[in-house]
Structure 1
């Protein structure tokens, strides 16, 4: 008899964790497992790419991306509906009182964590009992699986530097104690999490994101990629427009490069709430022709293939899928020296780790532009990256029989 497994994720648009989940779902043996997917917010365009064997259990679903204007409006309406649902209750008041001030002191202002608690408590309930329930992301999906799913075993994933992302022990402790196992996407993510929850060490292990090499290589030759006639050095960054991704610092770095006379153009693939703010910063720095926000694209891989240098200067990471995709396609990589990036980029071997500052990023880019042999070395080393698909799936599904 097939085992039943439920996966829960916050939204299902083109973020790193969402793409990682999609790849995982594609690689599970559907002859052995019945797989259900529940999207907490009931929204995201990746649902159209699900294998036919996966059952989406949401009663209502919106296929718009949460990164588009239309999708943001739909998301806001959903949040407002949940807030009104709780208007006569005070269940969340203790969390807000005990965590509000602590959260306000953090630079990456995470009111969203309280919102995720509200979303999980307001989401529809599932009647089915599962052999295994998997919360594939911290925050809302973890709260939902911990508190509202009926399953023999429960596991969750941590994809970010837990401390830098603004989560608090006071808010999450009771949640994580309900899980049989916690998967971390990198060793450094694990260590950062265990600094907060040292007594949960025996329940944690590493689960590297699953990446389909052959699919990436194939898609890289399917579309055109860059359509402008620019003949200087093309820099590329892929990721949502979010504080975490450090685009404000990248724009300052590009300003330094321009003042130095370096011929380069920086392209960004991705969308998000900071678009207008970043566009204004670009205008003020007179970089309209030098730092290009291209928005989200359906196939980013030709852009990786055609760029000269991939730059990933983020404030914090879990284990970046974008960096790994760039490496698969042979991109020389420059990344900020932070948790997650250090585990992917071996400084001086397959890429460069730089300081997260305008000067540090600009220096690393200029040095690599000037050294063609070094770019070739990093390209060759990067393209040797390998995945561990079968082993990771085994580690997850063995939880059913553990």
Structure 2
């Protein structure tokens, strides 16, 4: 054993203990896993968390008070989660209630053992609901600003933990139908949310009804005969970014204070994050104390001033006047986005303090002008605000069967459907044939019958994010956030499986199935799927999760000659050996192992049959082609002339303050133009193609070769081109956003691969009616025969012969019925992947 190998083994042996000592996040997960696996649920324990532990407030607080006020719930033990300042504790909680610091060891144990979990936001990424726990998520307002995937400027996976929490939720409490629908849609859980959505009103608004008007005024230090204006600005910032707006808010407050109507006082109530900046800047004393509940404050508010805060929705049922103060509506719309238009607001939108001061002097006019809009908005957003929302929620959680069913029957929103639900791992969404095949398939699936969810790692590169945006919008997307919850023994067992697969009976016995089941549960919560598809077929992680899931039907794709892929070397190392060595031993856990062409299936069965106990599991289903896109884009070309040469634009990139235009010399009518499209990787045979073209160019000077694609061999191939003095006649284009326009302008397509899954690009070349030369290899021979192209020996000589034949004799282009091809490919998918009874025709 060499020294490097020994170091790797030692590192893996001691890594879990290093995590325990120096990595807080990993330490939390290890301890949480221990509590999760071994802790017993306390059926009398109820946990409340609001705004990530920032304070004791909102809907969880209203529920807490309601339960304390009824003797029949005196058996319940209450725990509040706080993070940081606990000065409000004595003011708000009753004797016997425990306070637990967020992310402490006690917090981890509490999350794993409490029967009832109540939150108005999200629990951390390591949280996952145990069986028999009840998770109530109330969220924290009716949305004016866009949420989740509706925020155009947000990162593609920025909302992952909210989505994940929703999927774990048993009861989602909505203040109105509008909020329920926005939340389910914006966080991409429509159709897979398996909890109950209850449109029963917000418990926190009950606090407004129950507040003693005179007592609240006394607590605020406001005289009984004075009226109250509250300035309630929202928090400005993103999920991971905070902005200090305290000085701006303070200036607005000062200017309004100097122009108040007679008999009015102005109070300032800011968001809990903004409050920290006020304290930091020595301005904390002018704000309503943070422990003073906003909904209690609204009870004595005669006029509300806000900008984009959803607090105005909570205020609607009072039918009192509202002024919106914001000078950046249009800018904020671009930055964040709104669900409502200016005309939807139940009050004037002011951009300057002078406008606010005008309305201060015309309060009767303000009330009169907006009374109809206030009633309209109340009818849409606050129709359940009657002071009894908390009572309804308590009946759902703790009432007898009749009480619970009565509320459920009256307030339940049915969002479930009876479609076949498919969970699909996408394969990383890189620029490759797998991604093209995936995008095409997801554009053709019958969404009247199928509900499809794509799952992948948390995307963090522009290529994958761009490809994710190409996915059909009907497909839901789940991105993995956080890491799996595992114990130390599971860590060792997992790495044994990664290293050796399931090659022996002992390894099959010790495989940590519960680890993989638990991780998929952490990501998917209560969701249930009928079919899982490992569409990538190269990731040991996702193959393990899918193989041991409780999904009824499990499928995995083989997009290539997998034995050849196992032996592929790039830059001196085996590219896929570790993952595929494991995946081969997992094939028996799947119901279908799906190749993308008949010859590929035959080759995979021949080489990998020893891993499969039932050979009939090995099936094939052709890739879908997007012929509409090919035909549409073939003429969508942009040219420009430079130094008397025509150039074809291949990519346009927005690089901060620069627009980067990439282009290649355009195919010329004076040349014979050959073209190849494929990732610059060893299996594509580009070295042989370039060497064959070198020999061809000695005899035929007026020829040019375009190679479209990117990959690890880019530098090596460019070096070869330079060595052979082919820089004027061989063009490496890199990735092209529209390869079809370039193919369309060339004369003959050449596939030089050593093996293929199917050779999707061959089908696309046929759509464009191109003459085709292809090596006679796995996958390609399922597409090309003597009638629709020219198959050649997989060698330099074979490729040279093919190009010579085209130049001397010509190769007749041929088209095919691509609509019927797609129909048959879909039938194959439905039969072999989805398990439909009907056999595909012309099989």
**Normalising by the residue count of structure 1, what TM-score does the alignment of the two structures yield?**
0.79
Shift of 1:356: 1.8
1:248-259 aligned at under 5 Å gives the runs: 248-259=687-698
Question: Using CA pairs below 8 Å that are at least 6 residues apart, which structure has the higher relative contact order?
Answer: 1
Change (3 A) 1:312 1:126: same
1:84-233 aligned at under 5 Å gives the runs: 89=492, 91-93=494-496, 96=499, 125-127=523-525, 128-140=527-539, 143-147=543-547, 149-166=549-566, 171-195=582-606, 196-197=608-609, 199-224=613-638, 227=648, 228=665, 230=668, 231-233=670-672
Residue 739 (structure 2) pairs with residue 325 (structure 1): no
Shift of 1:309: 0.4
Q: Equivalents in 1 of 2:429, 2:554: separation in Å?
A: 20
Q: Equivalents in 2 of 1:264, 1:173: separation in Å?
A: 44
Larger radius of gyration: 2
Q: Equivalents in 1 of 2:782, 2:601: separation in Å?
A: 12
Change (3 A) 1:266 1:203: same
CA RMSD of aligned residues (A): 3.2
1:253-292 aligned at under 5 Å gives the runs: 253-292=692-731
Q: What's the counterpart of residue 795 of structure 2?
A: 357
Q: Equivalents in 2 of 1:353, 1:398: separation in Å?
A: 34
Partners of 1:254 and 1:290 within 8 A in 2: no
Tell me the secondary structure at the aligned position of residue 139 of structure 1. Answer: coil
Partners of 2:679 and 2:711 within 8 A in 1: yes
Q: Equivalents in 2 of 1:170, 1:279: separation in Å?
A: 32
Q: Equivalents in 2 of 1:27, 1:207: separation in Å?
A: 14
Gaps of 5+ in 2: 1-417, 503-517, 567-575, 640-646, 649-664, 839-843
Partners of 1:320 and 1:340 within 8 A in 2: yes
Change (3 A) 1:154 1:29: same
Q: Equivalents in 1 of 2:452, 2:710: separation in Å?
A: 30
Report the more deviating stretch, 351-360 or 195-204. 195-204
Gaps of 5+ in 1: 62-77, 79-84, 100-120
Deviations 1:323-345 (A, max 9, x none): 11001110111011111111111
Deviations 1:89-148 (A, max 9, x none): 47335654689xxxxxxxxxxxxxxxxxxxxx9998433331111111222176244345
Tell me the secondary structure at the aligned position of residue 268 of structure 1. Answer: strand
Q: Equivalents in 2 of 1:140, 1:328: separation in Å?
A: 32
Q: Equivalents in 1 of 2:681, 2:782: separation in Å?
A: 22
Q: Equivalents in 1 of 2:597, 2:832: separation in Å?
A: 15
Q: What's the counterpart of residue 472 of structure 2?
A: 51
Q: Equivalents in 1 of 2:747, 2:539: separation in Å?
A: 38
Deviations 1:161-193 (A, max 9, x none): 122111778633431111111222111111112
Deviations 1:354-373 (A, max 9, x none): 112222211210110122xx
Q: Equivalents in 1 of 2:538, 2:614: separation in Å?
A: 18
Report the more deviating stretch, 305-314 or 185-194. 185-194
Shift of 1:384: 5.0
1:370-389 aligned at under 5 Å gives the runs: 370-371=808-809, 374-375=810-811, 377=812, 379=813, 381-384=814-817, 386-389=820-823
Residue 780 (structure 2) pairs with residue 341 (structure 1): yes
Partners of 1:146 and 1:175 within 8 A in 2: no
Q: Equivalents in 2 of 1:241, 1:361: separation in Å?
A: 17
Q: Which stretches of structure 1, 4 residues or more, deviate above 6 A after TM superposition?
A: 121-124
Change (3 A) 1:148 1:298: farther
Q: Equivalents in 1 of 2:770, 2:733: separation in Å?
A: 19
Report the more deviating stretch, 219-228 or 191-200. 219-228
Tell me the secondary structure at the aligned position of residue 479 of structure 2. Answer: coil
**Normalising by the residue count of structure 2, what TM-score does the alignment of the two structures yield?**
0.39
